Amino acid sequence: MNWSSHEFIWLDWAVLAIGLLGVVAAVWYAIWKDKKAQQGEDSSAYLFGKGEPWYVIGMAIFAANIGSEHLVGLAGTGAKDGVGMAHWEMQGWMILILGWLFVPFYQLMINKMGKIITMPDFLKMRYTQRTGSWLSIITLVAYVLTKVSVTAFTGGIFFKYLLGIPFWYGAIGLIAVTAVFTVFGGMKGVMTLSTIQTPILIIGSFLVLFLGLAALGGGSIVDGWQGMMTACNAAHEGFGTTHMFHTDPADPMYPQFPGYVVFLGASIIGFWYWCTDQHIVQRVLGQVPGEDNKDVIARARRGTIAAGFFKILPCFMFLIPGMIAYALSQNPDSGIVMDITDHESTDGAFAMMVKNILPAGIKGIVTIGFVCALVASLAAFFNSCATLFTEDFYKPMKKGMSEAHYVFVGRTATVVVVILGLLWMPIMMNMGNLYSYLQDIQSLIAPAMVAVFTLGIFSKKITPKAGEWGLIGGFLVGMVRLVTNVITDSGKAAMDGAFWANTEWFWQTNWLIFECWLLVFIIALMVCVSFFTPAPTQAQVEAITFTSDFKKSIRESWGVWDIVGTLIVVGLCACFYWYFW
C-alpha cells in the first residue's frame, strides 16, 4: 500500500464511510435521548437548544462560523493574498464583546418577555414592530443570497478538488444531506454535530499545517516556515503577502485594502456578525426564562471566551496552509499546481493540501471532520432561518397551536430556504469572485445593524422611529450600492449617462471606506430623527435598564478565571497583529 499516495485510496474511502456512519449514530442517539427527556416535541428546544454547558456553547459558536467559505475561501485568499484577509478571522476579541456586553442585555430582555428571544424580538421591544419585521426580512434575504448559497457553492469546489466529485453533484448533495439533517435534527443535532466535528477539524487542520511546513522545509517545520515567508514575501511584485496592513499606494493590494481602514471595516462587519447576527447569537440564547441569571450569563460568557480561543485558530488552520500551498506550488514536484490569477485554482488550495500532504487513512479521518463542518455550518443557517420565520412571523399569526405544529412549520421553512438557495446559485455564479462578493454584501448590511443595536442598547434617547429609519434607510442605501457594484464590477467599470453624472463618489469609493461612511451616515440619521420624533416609552427604556438585583447577578457571574481567559484571548490576537503587522 502506498501510504503517501496523492489520491484517495480504498482505505480513505473505508475510513470515511465508517466514520460518517458513526457520526450519524451519535447524533441520532443524542436527539433520541433529548426527546425522551422532554417527553415530546418542543419548538424552543428544536430551534435553540437548552441549557448547554459553556464548552458546548463555545464549540457551537465556532462550528457555526466555520464553513466551506473557510475551507475554500480562507485558504484560497491565503494562497492569493496571504494574511491580507486575516482581520476578519483574528476576531476572538470581538466575540468577547458578545459575552461581556451584549449577553446581559439579551438575558434582561428574555426575563422581561418571558421567552427566549430572537434579534427581531429585541428590536420590536426597543423600537417598533416594523423595525423587527424589517430585520427578519433583511436577515432572511441575506441568508438565502449569501450564507446558504455561498456555503453550498464553495462546498462544491471543495469536494471537486478533494474527492473528484463534479461540482454540482457536490453542491446539491451537500444541500440535500444538510436539509434532511436540519429537518430531523434541529438545534440539538447541530450542537451534537458541532461537538463531534470541532476536535477532528482542529486536529486535522493542524496536521495539514505541520506536515505542509515539513514538506516545504525538507522535513523541518522551522525551515518550512522560513520557506513560506520567503516565497510569500516575494509575491505581488515584491510587496509581499505576509503583512496585514498595506500602506503603500503602489502595493497591488492597496486598492482593495487601503492602509489601516481595513481594521475598522473588518471590525464593523465583525461587530454585526458576532454580537447581533441571529446565526451566532442563537448559540448563547438557548437558556429558558426563569433560570438563575447568574448561572445563565456565566455559561454564555464562558462559552464566548471559549469561542474566542477557538476563533484564533482558523488563520493557522486554513489561511496559513493556503500560504504554504502557494509556496509548495513553486516546486513542480509537490503535486500542487496553482495559478494565483485563477480564483478557482487558489480556492482549491486546502483540498489540494489534504490530498497531497496527508498520508493514506488520515485523509479519510480528516475528511470526516470537514464534511461535518460543512453540514454543521449550513445546518446552522437553515436552523436560524427556520427560527426567524417561526418565532417572528408564524407564531404571532397562529397563536395557541401545538408545539409539534410549530416544529413542522420550522421544518417547512427550512425546505423553502433550501429551494431558494438552489435557485440563487446559478445567478450568483455569474457575479464575479465569490469571496469578494460575500464580503461586499456583508459590508453593506453590517453598518445598519451595528448602528441600530448599539444605539438602541447604550442610548435611552434614541427614539423608536429613529431605529426604524436607521435600519430601513441604511439597508436601502446598501442595496443601491450593491446594484451599482453589479453593474460596474465593483467600481472597475464606468456608468455613463446624465443620470449617473457626478455620482462616482458613490459607486467608485473603496468598499471599506464606503462601509465606514455608511455607518457614520446612519448614526447621524438616527440622531437627527430622534430630535423630531416621540421619545421611547417608559417600558422601552426599562427594557434596557439594569435593576440593582440584575447588576448584582451580573457581577456575581464572573470570576478571576473569566478575566484571565479574556486577557489571554486579547493578548493572543495582539501577538498575531504584531508578528504580521
Q: What is the DSSP string of 30-58?
A: HHHHHHHHHTS--HHHHHH--S--HHHHH
Q: Which of 48, 439, 51 is nearest to 278 (CA)?
A: 48
Q: Which of 197, 209, 229 is nearest to 372 (CA)?
A: 197
Helical packing angle, 261-276 and 434-458, nearest 10°: 70
Alpha carbon 71 to chain centroid, angstroms:
13
Q: Where are the alpha helices (DSSP H) in 459-559?
A: 464-488, 504-507, 511-532, 538-542, 548-557
What pLDDT does 418 receive?
Answer: 74
Say if residue 191 is exposed, middle or buried (CB neighbours under 10 Å; 0-12, 13-18, 19+).
Answer: buried
Q: Which of 231, 230, 252, 233 is nearest to 241 (CA)?
A: 233
What pLDDT does 127 receive?
Answer: 93
Does residue 5 belong to any structural domain of this protein?
no
Q: Which of 7, 75, 68 is nearest to 345 (CA)?
A: 75
The CB-side HSE value for 48 (13 A sphere, CA atoms) comes to 24
Does residue 4 belong to any structural domain of this protein?
no
DSSP secondary structure, 416-481, as one string: HHHHHHHHHHHHHTTSS-HHHHHHHHHHHHHHHHHHHHHHHHH-SSS-HHHHHHHHHHHHHHHHHH
Q: Give the length of the chain.
A: 581
The CB-side HSE value for 545 (13 A sphere, CA atoms) comes to 10
What pLDDT does 471 receive?
Answer: 94
DSSP-assigned beta bridge partners for residue 32? none
Q: Which of 42, 324, 343 is nearest to 209 (CA)?
A: 324
Does residue 559 belong to any structural domain of this protein?
yes
DSSP-assigned beta bridge partners for residue 258? 246
**Alpha-carbon Rg of the chain, whole angstroms?**
24
Say if residue 21 is exposed, middle or buried (CB neighbours under 10 Å; 0-12, 13-18, 19+).
Answer: exposed
Q: Which of 574, 566, 546, 104 is nearest to 302 (CA)?
A: 566
Q: Is the dihedral of CA 455, 458, 462, 467 positive or negative?
A: positive
Does residue 3 belong to any structural domain of this protein?
no
What pLDDT does 288 receive?
Answer: 47
Report how far residue 232's alpha carbon sits from residue 243's, in angstroms, rounded to the nearest whole number.
10
Does residue 294 belong to any structural domain of this protein?
yes
Report how far residue 255's alpha carbon sits from residue 263's, in angstroms, rounded to the nearest whole number.
15
DSSP helix/strand/coil, 388? helix
| Lookup: cell for 192 | 451534537
What pLDDT does 67 receive?
Answer: 66
Does residue 140 belong to any structural domain of this protein?
yes
Q: CA separation (Å) from 21 to 17, 45, 368? A: 6, 25, 10
The CB-side HSE value for 120 (13 A sphere, CA atoms) comes to 22
DSSP assignment letter at 4: T
Report how far residue 257's alpha carbon sits from residue 241's, in angstroms, rounded to the nearest whole number.
12
Report how far residue 361's alpha carbon sits from residue 356's, in angstroms, rounded to the nearest whole number.
13
DSSP assignment letter at 276: H
Please state the φ and ψ torsions of residue 258, each to the nearest 5 degrees.
-75, 110
**531: how many CB neighbours lie within 10 A of its CB?**
9
What pLDDT does 578 receive?
Answer: 94
What pLDDT does 289 receive?
Answer: 47
CATH number of the domain where residue 566 is located: 1.20.1730.10
Domain that holds residue 88: 10-579
Please tell me the total count of domains within the chain.
Answer: 1
Report how far residue 285's alpha carbon sits from residue 294's, in angstroms, rounded to the nearest whole number.
14
What pLDDT does 179 receive?
Answer: 72
504: left (phi over 0), alpha (psi -120 to 50) or beta: alpha
For residues 20 and 364, the answer to whether their CB atoms sit within 8 Å is no
Does residue 470 belong to any structural domain of this protein?
yes
DSSP helix/strand/coil, 258? strand
What pLDDT does 501 receive?
Answer: 63
For residues 312 and 569, the answer to whether their CB atoms sit within 8 Å is yes
Predicted TM-score of the model (pTM): 0.83
What pLDDT does 291 receive?
Answer: 56
In tens digits, the chain (581 residues) has pLDDT values of 555 566 677 787 788 788 778 777 777 776 666 666 655 544 444 444 555 677 888 877 887 777 667 777 788 888 888 898 899 889 889 999 998 888 888 888 777 776 666 788 888 888 998 898 888 778 777 877 777 777 777 778 778 877 788 888 888 888 777 777 766 666 566 667 767 777 777 888 888 899 999 999 888 999 999 999 999 998 888 888 899 999 889 888 888 889 899 999 999 999 998 988 877 887 777 654 445 667 778 888 888 999 999 898 889 988 999 999 999 988 877 778 777 766 667 777 888 888 888 887 788 888 887 777 777 777 777 777 777 777 777 777 777 777 778 878 877 777 777 787 777 777 677 665 566 677 778 899 999 999 999 999 888 899 999 999 999 999 999 988 888 877 776 666 667 666 666 677 777 788 899 999 999 999 999 999 999 999 999 888 887 888 788 888 888 888 888 899 999 999 999 999 999 98
DSSP assignment letter at 246: B
Does residue 214 belong to any structural domain of this protein?
yes
